[in-house]
A and B are shown apart, each in its own frame.
Chain A
Amino acid sequence: MIHQKGIPMKSVDESKLREIFGDNNVKTDPSDLYAFGSDSSVHHAMPWAVVRPDTTEQVQKLMAYANDALIPVIPRGGGSGMCGQTVPIYGGIILDMKRMNRILEINLPDVYCRVEPGVVDDDLNLALKPHGMFYPPTPASSRIATIGGEIANNASGVRSVKYGATRDAVLGMKVVMPNGDLVTLGAHTRVEASGYQLHKLMVGSEGTLGIVVEATLNFVPIPEYRCMGIANFDDLSHAGGAIGAIMSSGATPSMLELVDSVAIKAVNKTMNLGLKEVAASLIFEADGMVKEAVDYEINKMKEICTKHHGSDIKTSYDPKERAKIFMGRKKLFPALSKYDDNLSSTSLADDMAVPYSKMAEMAGKIHEVAKKNNIIMTAYGHCGSGCMHTKILMDTNREDQWASAKKAITEIYEYVRSVNGTTSAEHGIGLSKAESFKVEKADSLKLLQTIKQALDPNNILNPGKLMQAPEDWVTATGLRYAVHN
């Protein structure tokens, strides 16, 4: 195994790991390593060892050792990343942070909480609920995603249109640097102008700059009122027009989701929901502490949908009715996975963002590219924050389908960049999206590498990701499928 900088790797000193973490928190058997070689992406690679810290000191000791021995260290949360961020393509030690799972403090008067990185998002929200508060960036994978992983990927979700992404909720953090030093970044205050705001740099760095061992997070009150609505559109461009109009009208949706015709058909086919098969549906929501204010927001969105030829418009405050409205969107993820026994749902070009005015065109482009390349793709997403999701449904065991998928992805990203969109809105880059990322950020790649070099001179933290990812993700990394000619 050759490190990408050309330095031959030394083997891992297992006894050193056992000394730091204890026998019960070190795994080196291939049966464990194999499982830790995967996440929720298409990639797979074998690590050399997995360790599970309980304390910051253990993380510091590991980094001091790994930095000296030039061993890659790959921090890992829930393993729900969709782009291969935690896949150890150069081997190394997986640093499984799930055992550092303490909620350290819920400070109501100062409106922040302090948590360790292994705390699961849903658990944090369960803990905040009795205090009438919630942590809003919550991605769809909140039942498994850890706060550390969400910070690493700047995760966001359906409510980010109003409440922001992880970066907006992080006030400060404690970070172990690649040489083992512990630094405190940010503050416990809502605003800070004291220098470079390095905690914000850590958010979205995909475990390549430092290891977050504690995070200070902002939280917000659970709204008293929530009203959800749905509007159907016979033409995708009309739905697109409504999105732009809502976002520029001054309305503040707490959710604005687009579901396209392919998605609606998929949900009807697998879940038998009997949804009206239209070109697109928009699901919108407003929330707040005062009913009249929520009414105002929701009526504004209704009016705009009507003006843009939306039909079958209905809204409701009732939780059961809201659940019904959201059902099609909620069931989409499993529906795409169950769409056809011979097709697998893959996360490839799955979370690009484009300007509001291009959302409908983007969805149309996805349909066009899918048809041309003989694969199934659907367009849905958090259009209120400009995020478009898509899944590629294909026979992952057929080599020719991978070639088609690759072609489709390239075409889609070319379009995204041509309209000033971005490669990833919320899942991050990892390996799968590095190709487009490198083209999109071509004139700042050197700058990114300079930052990486300054913070991690030996390149031991999650090497081979983002700007360092191999040129061709299909051939440069192991795929987790049995691909036949």
Chain B
Amino acid sequence: METKEKTRFKHLEKWESTLSACIRCGYCFEHCPMFKYTGWESDAPRAKLITAFGLLSGELEPTKMAADKIFNCFYCKRCEAACSSGVTLTEVFTDAKKDLVEMGLKGPGTTSVTYLNCARCLVCVKACPHEARFHGEDGIETDPIKCQACGICVEVCPAGAAKIENNFGTGREDLIAESSRFLSTHASAKAIVFACNWSYFPDLQASRLPESETHDKDYEIYVNMCAGRLESQLLMAPFLNKAWGVLVASCPEDECQHKNGNTRAKKLVESLKSTLERVNIDPARLQVVEIPAGDKTLFQAEIDTFIDRLNSMGPIR
């Protein structure tokens, strides 16, 4: 029970009692996209708080690996909603990031970066809901403290120069590959569902079912994080792989953690519906639904309704 030596974490210091208040129940695990993707407990929100405590107490050296634990976060804030102790985790992470940046440890983690093919059109600067992107000395830069990894810059960039390199399975290519694999391996497959966070994911969270229980599954849910990062190519890909329909779930109108990710998704879906109509595909095969955080029952009901509708329409001919 020795008093531990403090390091130079001036911003993190004010959270000392909060870090003690976390009872480490781990109820945050099931909602965290990092934990879901890597399966490593050391990537879960609780571990980030433990890391913050280690850095603050001096028990853990501020290395790149330790900093990455903090910088790898999508700021979906579902861990905060699930927290037994009411800890505002992302505020702790943001203050830890401030200290780490001052020490020269700035990620990128999930922070968006800009590739050399950037045309400096400033579309991303205008679109960023967190005012994290700016025109700096080296062209378009990202403030690693402000960036919340929503990915809206990636979606709006016409040159494909804005990237989130560490996307933990939420990148377009990953999702296209995964959804294609499901559609090609399940004869019963009809729909692909894209959801913006894990809190309303109604299926098994961290376990695998036997093949006998899944072989006749007619839909699969993929979590893409903020709906604002959905792209046309991703939403249309399942149709190329013989899906009967695509359902998009986003947060309700005023509840997006990234200000307007949900309205962006709605606009995109509306525009793609016109495209479907032009090629004689019923636009009802692409739907967007609003699901409040944590409402698994509503999400399941919306999926069931969508599948019923697809069943009445049949496959695309």
Is the interface on chain A under 10, 10 to 19, 20 to 34, or 35 or more residues? 35 or more
The contact string, 1 if C-beta is below 8 Å from chain B, for chain A 241-260, is 00000000000000000000
Q: A141 at the A/B interface (Cβ < 8 Å)?
A: yes
The reply on A8 being an interface residue by CB < 8 A is no
B210 at the interface (CB under 8 A from A): yes
Check B1 against A399 for contact (C-beta < 8 Å): yes
Task: Provide the residues of chain B in CB contact with A120, threshold 8 Å.
Answer: 204-207
Residue pair A126, B204 in contact (C-beta under 8 Å): yes
Contacts of A123 in B (CB 8 A): 204-207
Q: By the criterion CB–CB under 8 Å, are B16 and A98 in contact? A: no
Q: Tell me the B59-100 residues at the A interface (CB within 8 Å).
A: 59-61, 63, 65-66, 68-69, 83-86
Note all chain A residues with C-beta closer than 8 A to B84: 333-334, 337
Does A103 interact with chain B (Cβ within 8 Å)? yes
Q: With A31-B60, A334-B84 in contact, do A79 and B41 touch (Cβ < 8 Å)?
A: yes
CA distance A105 to B56 in the complex (A): 46
Residues of A within 8 A of B65 (CB): 29-32
A474 engages B1 (CB within 8 Å) = yes
Determine the distance from Cα of A144 to Cα of B63 in the docked complex, in whole angstroms: 29
| A119 and B29 form a contact (CB under 8 A) | no
Question: Counting CB contacts under 8 A, is B119 at the interface?
Answer: no
With contacts A102-B207, A399-B1 taken as known, whether A96 is within 8 angstroms of B41 at the C-beta atoms is yes
Q: Given A337-B85, A397-B17, A483-B2, are A122 and B50 also a contact pair (CB < 8 Å)?
A: no
> Would A30 and B207 count as touching, CB distance under 8 A?
no
Q: CB within 8 Å of A: which of B37-56?
A: 39-42, 46-47, 50-51, 53-54, 56
Does B232 belong to the interface (CB within 8 Å)? no
Cβ-based interface call for B134 (8 A) = no
Q: How far is the CB of B82 from chain A (nearest CB, A)?
A: 9
Q: Name the prevailing secondary structure of the A interface residues.
A: mixed
Q: Which residues of A contact B54 (CB under 8 A)?
A: 34
B42 to A35, Cβ gap below 8 A?
A: yes
**A346 to B63 alpha-carbon distance, docked (Å):** 30
CB-based contact B24/A40 at 8 Å:
yes
Q: Does B25 contact A (CB under 8 A)?
A: yes
| Residues 107-123 of A contacting B (Cβ, < 8 Å) | 118-120, 122-123
Note all chain B residues with C-beta closer than 8 A to A124.
207
Query: Is A475 an interface position by the 8 A CB rule?
Result: yes
A359, B24: Cα distance in complex, Å: 28
Contact between B17 and A341, CB atoms less than 8 A apart? yes
Indicate if the CB atoms of B60 and A34 lie closer than 8 Å.
yes
8 Å CB interface, A79-105 against B: 79-80, 96, 98-99, 101-105
B57 CB-CB contact with A under 8 Å: yes
Q: Check if A162 is an interface residue, CB within 8 A of chain B.
A: no
Contacts of B204 in A (CB 8 A): 120, 123, 126-127
Contact of A27 with B42 at beta-carbon distance under 8 Å, contacts A105-B210, A399-B1, A482-B16 already known: yes
Q: Are A101 and B207 in contact (CB under 8 A)?
A: yes
Q: How far is the CA of A245 from the CA of B27 in the complex (A)?
A: 36
Given A31-B42, A397-B17, A482-B3, the answer on whether A118 and B60 have CB atoms closer than 8 Å is no
Measured between beta carbons, the chain A residues less than 8 angstroms from B24 are 38-41, 480
With A31-B65, A31-B69, A32-B42 known as contacts, the answer to whether A103 contacts B210 (CB < 8 A) is yes
A160 within 8 A of B: no
Which residues of chain A are within 8 angstroms of B69 by Cβ–Cβ distance?
Answer: 31, 35
A34 touches B210 (CB 8 A): no
Min Cβ gap A284→B in Å is 25
B3 to chain A minimum Cβ distance, whole angstroms, is: 5
Q: How close is B125's CB to chain A, nearest CB, in angstroms?
A: 33
A485 at interface, CB cutoff 8 A: yes
Is chain B's binding surface mostly helix, strand, loop or mixed? loop
* Smallest beta-carbon distance B49→chain A, Å: 9
CA distance A126 to B209 in the complex (A): 10
> B30–A103 contact, CB under 8 A?
no
Do residues A480 and B53 form an inter-chain contact, with CB atoms below 8 A?
Answer: yes
Q: A320 within 8 Å of B by Cβ?
A: no
Are A344 and B21 neighbours in the complex by a CB distance under 8 Å? Answer: yes
Name A304-360 residues within 8 Å CB distance of B.
333-334, 337-338, 341-342, 344-347
Interface status of B102 (Cβ within 8 A of chain A): no
Chain B window 3-20, contacts with chain A (Cβ cutoff 8 Å), 1 for yes, 0 for no: 110000000000011001
Is residue A233 within 8 Å, beta carbon to beta carbon, of the partner chain?
no
The 8 Å CB contact of A104, one of B17, B25, B203, B210, is B210
Residue from the set B2, B68, B205, B208 with the largest chain A CB neighbour count within 10 Å: B208
Q: Which A residues lie within 8 Å of B56 (CB)?
A: 482
B207 contacts which chain A residues (CB < 8 A)?
A: 101-103, 118-120, 123-124, 127
Nearest CB of chain B from residue A19's CB, rounded to whole Å: 20
Chain B residues, CB < 8 A from A96: 40-41
Q: Cβ of A106 and Cβ of B26 under 8 Å apart?
A: no
CA distance A337 to B208 in the complex (A): 33
User: Which residues on the B side are within 8 Å of A78 (C-beta)?
Assistant: 26, 29
* Inter-chain contact B205/A338, CB cutoff 8 Å: no
Query: Does A52 sit within 8 A of B, measured CB to CB?
Result: yes
Q: Considering only CB atoms, which chain B residue lies closest to A94 in the complex?
A: B41
A415 on interface, CB distance cutoff 8 Å = no
B23 within 8 Å of A (CB atoms): yes
Partner of A144, one of B17, B26, B59: B26
B47 touches A483 (CB 8 A): no
Q: How far is the CA of A119 from the CA of B210 in the complex (A)?
A: 12
Identify 16 new A-B residue pairs, CB closer than 8 A, beyond the known A96-B40, A337-B23, A474-B1.
Answer: A27-B42, A29-B65, A30-B66, A34-B51, A35-B47, A79-B26, A118-B207, A119-B207, A120-B204, A120-B206, A127-B204, A143-B27, A334-B84, A337-B86, A475-B1, A482-B4
Name A's B-contacting residues (CB within 8 A): 27, 29-32, 34-36, 38-41, 50, 52, 78-80, 96, 98-99, 101-106, 118-120, 122-124, 126-127, 141, 143-144, 333-334, 337-338, 341-342, 344-347, 396-397, 399, 402, 474-475, 479-485
Listed by A's residue number, 6 A-B pairs whose Cβ atoms lie within 8 Å are: A31-B60, A34-B54, A102-B207, A127-B207, A144-B26, A482-B20
